[in-house]
Structures are given as structure tokens and as C-alpha cells.
Chain A
């Protein structure tokens, strides 16, 4: 057994030192009635070659974008991941330490977190960022809790064009408090926030308003009027960003008045990995730092006066404050945040802008080509980044099933969450989709809706 170094001699010597007759004797504190009598019912142990056969077999049963054209988005995005990112992330020095509670032995991870916090603030136009939350959906939950603490109010409102699963997760967890009533705010025909409807529901009991930017429909809109309305009501504006690459093209939410931004960092260097592990980027204003969830890394110096990094303001956290902590977060998503850090630095100032532009141009091209087809139109009129919703002359779910024969994942049928959008298809295009692939997709859509 390669992971177990003990030889019979070692075991004998160690037992002698302990003064125990056998290994079994070490477990005497477990009452006999609770001791397992037989072996665990598990498949037999495998050698590494056997393991590869079994697991490769499972992996090969799954369709991947290597052989399929994929236009899937909806909160999980396929972007090119340069080799350098995971070559560095996979270094044992990053992969195998624990949380940097002992700073003298963790300066590498701590400086990397500091750089991550810094770059995320630059991207989203805010002052401070924590070291990560589990993902965007749970980060939004933390953001609503934080807004409730800051405003001392319980209710919140959420836009109907926020990802339905983010809304569901928020409902499940924030809704544990019966006072935390949620109001759903409808979207306009443009696919944007219905500002008039929002203003009606912004009562003095509202702690926060959750919007998504770009929205679940891919639409983008000016957040300033929303921020003004929310702030006038004494509430905080929470902005969910599903793909940070958009920040290379559109204005940063912090600049437009957001108080808390939670972004899904998956798109920055992490594979889609069937939905996880991802990384919640959580940023806010300095004034709110003591209400923040999660870990923060700050600058200090050692006894010789050298610049160093350390986890700070830890009295907010569960290991100190227990039931009064700002969050129960302990293990976070550090390694994914590191991938995000390296990837963001790899793109750099210019690369970030260029990549956003490439994504937008491809998505514009795809939308134009798709909506040129007879019976297909853009569902919403607002501008979009790299995702858009199109209305088909048939149920979107049946088109998707037909497209699978052509090895195309054509997008996401919105009927799953929106009864009033049975024919709506959410299509995502990134730099990974070639023009040839987009053209093949458009041709297949045409063929299926005609046939």
C-alpha cells in the first residue's frame, strides 16, 4: 500500500514504546458494541494502472467540448486556460499546505492572496476583497447577510433576471430567518431591471437589492439609476457578476455605485468541472470591512522590519467569534483563487481588454447570424456581452435535443425556470468558439427549425 509506510518492524517497535499489545488495543476506548465486525463493503483496492482503467472509463462516458461544439454558459464559462496557470497552481507548495494560520511558513500563499485581493478590487472598482467564498451563489448569501448587519434590516429584493439558482440558494439560506422576506422584481422587455417596479418595493425595511451584471439573460445596463434608487431607500446594492471577463469591456460595478460585488471567479483560469470547485470573489467598500465574511490578508512587518503578510481582522471569524462570527466560512476556495490570480496576471492590463473584446465580437456575430434565421429573434433588446437569449419558433428544449445529434450543445433552455419563455434559448459564445463552429451551429439550428 503505497500511501502507508509502516513495516511490521515499525509497528512492533511503536507498539512496544506505547506499551500496547496490538493495534487493536489502541481502539479499546471504543465500546465493543460499536466496533465494526466485518470489512467495509467497498470495491476491491486498485493498483494505479487498474485505477486509471476504471476512472478513464468513466471519464470517457462524458461528452466534452473537445469533440462537441458548446454554447453553454449560464454561470459556468469555458475560456482558454493557458498551460502556465495549472503548472504553477499544481506546485506542491501551493497545493498541499493548510490555511495560512502560521504566517512565517505561509508567506507565498499570503502574498498571493494579497495580490488576488488587489487585482479583484481593480477589476470591480471597489476598495477591499476577501480571500474567497465557495462560489457566486453562496457569496450572494453572505452579501445579503452582510447587508442585513450593516443596515439592521432584514428584507431584501432580488431581480428576476438574476440566475435562478442564485435566487434559489439565497432563498434557501437567507430565508432561514422568517423576517428576511424576499421580493422578486420583474424584468422589462429589454431584459433589464424594471426600475419603476423596483422603486415600488424599496421599502424602509429593505436591506439590500441583488442585481446581476450582465444579467442571467446576458443583458447589460447602467447600474447608476438602480444604485441611486437603492441608496435613496437606505439599502445596499449587491451586484452579482457571472463572468469577470466582461470587466474588460463594460464599466466596473463599483464605479457605478455597487456596495458589494460578488463575482464567479471560475471563468478566470478554472475549468468548468461539472459545476465546481469554483470561487466566489467578494469585494466591498472599506467602511464595511468589519462586517465582511471570510479571510482577509493584510500587510505587516516581521521583527526585522521586512514587509510581510498575515491574515488579519480575524475577530470577525468563526474560530474566534463562534456563534457571533460574520460567517461560518472556514475552508474556502484558495487554490481556485490562486488560479484566478495567476490567470488575471497572465492576461494583464491589455490582455484583459482584448479578451473581453474578442468574446463580445464573437457573441455579436453569433447573435446576428442566429437572428437572421426565419422565425428566430432576439428575446430582449438590451445590449449583451457574451451571452444572449433568442426566441425560437419551437420549444428550446426540443431544439437542444435535436442539436445533440450534431454533437452541439446549443445552450440552455430557459423554460426550466421561466414558464413564460418556453421558446427561449440562452446562448453563450466565448473565444473558444471558432467562427467555423458558430457557422455550423447556425446552420444546424436552421436545418432543425425548418425540418
Chain B
């Protein structure tokens, strides 16, 4: 702590459960690692409990070069027919020389065994939801059922071509229609489009629907109100839609206050974008009043549904006065995040906005299901074909597995887990908003800062304990935010492990801050120089070779 004062902290209000803070076994330090400090304070017990206090990490990982470095002329992994079954012909004889590729792409030449090893080794450098607790706030990292993957891979779904006659794709269309019905039931919205490819794409699409509706009403408007707690995609999507963004502040308890909205509201405001529950995990309990204020001045209400995992079967966004919302199927409905995507971001609207939804739309006629692209008031197409169908299959499979009680329980336990973690950690970390929260909790580094430890250090140190860190430095209105969203698929033991690690880290911050500021110690790579990467970017093999 280098002589710096340690902030006084309140003692825990709840007694730690037996074993939570007790005999935490150290994970084995990395063999031969440099100065890797042990990660728990007490030595390994002779008889560890069945579930260790933290998963720890042993660092069993192998180095692997780049594909271009593995490449050797003459090797190959592809297996293609040796002879074509149609007559061979020389491209030079038919195609003008100017069209023929002069230099083949410098792609790697490796055997299939090396290919498999390459990507297997790479995969071992990733932390993933399958392997452990992944409490990224706002991202809803819940278990990704393998059944969903297997269903989406059925040839009857995976091999459909977007331009095959819809009469030969009735099962796919029925599935999309049934998913629309389910999303309506869950949200209380009145019409759905499954076209958007992700949440952000859904935001843009939803705002375009609002814009088209207002223009049609002869009332084009120029501004969108966005709270300071909103995700970055909200203002970015509004800007693409041609709106000026006016940021409005959250109140002292983390809630959007009706008076703030009323003051910001004017006749040039097209819409307000709210996230409910908001990015502090707090339910915007004045949502109805806010909607009334905005509606009274002729504006519309957009709800970012990224946090729907707190509300399934509990409350319907459509009943709150919201006009348009998006769903993140890759959050609430278990389609895997895939290291960054793909997702799907369907939108739901109230009936008066339905004519403006993007084309095409699934319709049912006497002849069966089909695509309708004729809607005269539609904003038009927002993506080629029909949306990320494979993701729709996965989400629908999940909804069918869960049913109404299952989804409700999912939201209940997601909220239970977040509140449990919050209750257990508020003695160790500063809680910026005491307002009750739902599915996530936001803490800060305020108590650790005076000792020279920042949120980033806490996040990096969590890696040594075998956890993915929470979302950090978001929402932006909370300095040093750590946003923890455990989700419902984590057991009590798993939450307890995380709590134990967070508490141990808070102690380390007091006694051995360098352990944190130099963390992570046990990961495949230690802390990275992100500044260097941006100063003179090297973005390809070619640039690497210089």
C-alpha cells in the first residue's frame, strides 16, 4: 500500500457463509512463472471442500505461431475431386488476360492435422462461458444450450436457400411466425420484425420506423433524447438515422426523472431512447409517466431491450407505454455470443407503427406462409434476405424448451443471483446507487482508488482467480464502474466462488496493491500494451513482416 491511507470500510452486515471466506485453496501458480504471487491468502488445505473456492488456473497452454509461419510450400489440407466431371478447359483460352488473376493469394499451405492443432491451440487461449463464470454486465452471458446448435444445424434449416420458393420452406416460415408470436407474448408489443442482425441494427431499424411514422404524420422532428446511462450504440444509431442527440442526466438514485424528461422535451424531439431496466440494473419505475410526457408532446418512446432478462413473465415492456423496442436474441434467448457475433436483434412495435416495419414480412394466407414485400409504407429493406435465420432457430428452440414458467424462473433467478452478489460485496466495494436493482449490480473502485488500485486492476486480477471480469467503465456515468451480471444459469456455488475472489482481491488491494496493478499473472498473456498497438497499427501478416 506504500504508506497510502486505507479507506475505512463498513463491516459486513451479513455474516459470510461458512466456507466462503474461509479456507480458500490457492490455485497452483503457473509452472516457472515469473514472480507469480499466490492468489489466495491461506495455504492449500489438506482436505479441500468438494467445490473449491475458486476454480484457479494452472496455465496449461501451448504456444502456436501464425498460419503464415506454419505454411510450407506443397502442404495442403483441402480434399477436392482430382478430376472435374465436366470437360476441363483453360481459362486463358476463354477469359481476357486482364481478368485473370496474376498472382495467387498468398494463403497458407498446411496439412489438416496442423490446421486442427492450430485452431485447437488458439481456442485454448480463450476464456469462455462454457468454462466459467462470465459476469459481463449488459451482455447476459448465460449458458448456451447445445440443443439449439444441433437444431439450427438440421439440414432442413441450415441448407435452405433464401430464394427457394416459399412453398418449399413452410417449416422455416412457420418457425419465424411462431417466434414472432412468442416475442409478442413476452414483450406485449403488437408486431415484430425479425430482420435486424443485432441489437444495434435493431436500434437503427426501430428509429427509422419512428422517423417514417412521424414523417407520414407530417411532423418530422430532429432530436432524440438519450440518458447518460445509455449504451454507445443508442447515440450512434440515432446519428445514422439523422437525429441530433441530446443527452439527459439520470437522477441521484440512478433513475430517469420525469421532470428531467419534461424539461428536455420539445416539439422537435422525435423520440426518447430508454433502457429498462437501465444499465445500472435499476427498473425505471417512472416509465409510464415518462412515456406520457413524451407522447403528450408528440414524441415516441424507444426501449433498448438489452436487459429483458430481468423481466420475462414479470412485466411487459409493451404495457409500459413503449412504442418500439428491440430484443437481443444473443443475450436473453441464449444464442451464443461467438466471440463477438452473430446475433439477432428483432424489433417489436405497437400496431400504429406496424405498417412501417422493414420488408419483407412473414404473412399467412390460405396458401400457407409467404413473404410480403409490398407494404407501401415500409421503411424498406435493411438487410439482404430475411435476417439472421439461424439465430432465430436457436432462440425459438430455447423458448420452446423453457415455456412460460421456465422463462419467468430464468428472470427470477437472474435477479436473485445479482442481488445475492450485491449483498455479499457491498462491504468490500463501493455501491454508487443504493436503489434496489434487478439483474445486475454496479460497483466501483472508489474505496480502492486511494491505494492506487483501479477498476482495470481489479478486473485483471479476477482473471488470476479464474473469472472473466465484469463489464468495466460502463455505464459512463459511474466512475470506475464494474457492472456484474451473473445470469440465472450460475449456481449458488458459482456465485460464492466469485464473491470469494472479489473479497480476496479487495484485501489484496489493501495489503499488496502491486499484485493487482501487475495482474494478470497466470493468464496466457500478461497485461498488454494497448497504446503501442494503436500508435503504429500492425493489422495483417504482411504488415507484421514489414
- A-B contact list, 27 entries, CB within 8 Å: A14-B416, A14-B495, A18-B423, A39-B313, A58-B174, A61-B170, A65-B159, A94-B339, A95-B144, A100-B339, A111-B122, A134-B197, A252-B101, A277-B197, A289-B539, A298-B534, A312-B530, A314-B534, A318-B200, A328-B239, A330-B198, A332-B198, A336-B338, A345-B115, A352-B107, A404-B168, A409-B168
A102 and B436 CA atoms in complex are apart in Å by 29
- B171 in contact (CB, < 8 A): yes
* Interchain CB contact under 8 A, A17 and B423: yes
Q: Which of B95, B155, B282 contacts A383 (CB 8 A)?
A: B95
* Interchain CB contact under 8 A, B282 and A29: yes
* Interchain CB contact under 8 A, A109 and B340: yes
- B341 in contact (CB, < 8 A): yes
Smallest CB gap from A344: residue in B: B107
Across chains A and B, which 6 residue pairs bring their CB atoms closest together, nearest first? A275-B385, A59-B156, A45-B403, A335-B338, A334-B340, A61-B171
- A103 in contact (CB, < 8 A): yes
- A33 in contact (CB, < 8 A): yes
Q: Which of B143, B174, B528 contacts A302 (CB 8 A)?
A: B528
Of B43-51, B256-264, B293-301, B315-323, the one with at least 4 CB within 8 A of chain A: B315-323
Q: Which of B76, B84, B527, B534 contacts A313 (CB 8 A)?
A: B534
Residues from chain B with a CB closer than 8 A to the CB of A119 are: 67, 105, 107-108
- A431 in contact (CB, < 8 A): yes
* Interchain CB contact under 8 A, A313 and B537: yes
CB contact under 8 A between A435 and B151, given known A274-B172, A364-B94: no
A381 and B97 CA atoms in complex are apart in Å by 17
* Interchain CB contact under 8 A, A41 and B165: no
Contact flags (1/0) for B157-185 with A, using CB distance below 8 Å? 11111111101111110110000001001
Q: Which of B162, B200, B380 contacts A275 (CB 8 A)?
A: B162
Residues of B101-118 contacting chain A, CB below 8 A: 101-102, 104-110, 112, 115-116, 118
- Contact size range, A: 35 or more
* Interchain CB contact under 8 A, A352 and B128: no
- B80 in contact (CB, < 8 A): yes
Residues of A228-280 contacting chain B, CB below 8 A: 247-252, 255, 271-277, 279
A200 and B330 CA atoms in complex are apart in Å by 47
Residues of A151-197 contacting chain B, CB below 8 A: 163, 165-166, 168-169, 171-173, 176-177
* Interchain CB contact under 8 A, A349 and B399: no
* Interchain CB contact under 8 A, A17 and B524: no
A55 and B393 CA atoms in complex are apart in Å by 9
* Interchain CB contact under 8 A, B340 and A331: yes
A93 and B125 CA atoms in complex are apart in Å by 8
CB contact under 8 A between A42 and B239, given known A108-B126, A302-B525: no
Contact flags (1/0) for A343-366 with B, using CB distance below 8 Å? 011111111111101101110110
Q: Which of A5, A19, A33, A96 contacts B490 (CB 8 A)?
A: A5
Q: Which of A322, A348, A404 contacts B232 (CB 8 A)?
A: A322
Residues from chain B with a CB closer than 8 A to the CB of A129 are: 539-540
* Interchain CB contact under 8 A, A18 and B415: no
Residues from chain A with a CB closer than 8 A to the CB of B416 are: 6, 11, 14-15, 18, 23, 26
Residues from chain B with a CB closer than 8 A to the CB of A107 are: 122, 125-126, 524-525
Apart from A68-B168, A97-B129, A310-B533, what 7 extra A-B contacts exist at CB < 8 Å?
A34-B315, A61-B174, A255-B102, A274-B389, A332-B340, A342-B119, A361-B84
* Interchain CB contact under 8 A, B131 and A93: yes
Smallest CB gap from B390: residue in A: A273
Residues from chain B with a CB closer than 8 A to the CB of A15 are: 416
Of A69-77, A201-209, A372-380, A387-395, the one with at least 4 CB within 8 A of chain B: A69-77
A78 and B315 CA atoms in complex are apart in Å by 43
A300 and B337 CA atoms in complex are apart in Å by 25
* Interchain CB contact under 8 A, A349 and B105: yes
- B460 in contact (CB, < 8 A): yes
* Interchain CB contact under 8 A, A98 and B337: yes
* Interchain CB contact under 8 A, A106 and B127: yes
- A303 in contact (CB, < 8 A): yes
- B149 in contact (CB, < 8 A): yes
Smallest CB gap from B403: residue in A: A45
- A105 in contact (CB, < 8 A): yes
Residues from chain B with a CB closer than 8 A to the CB of A450 are: none
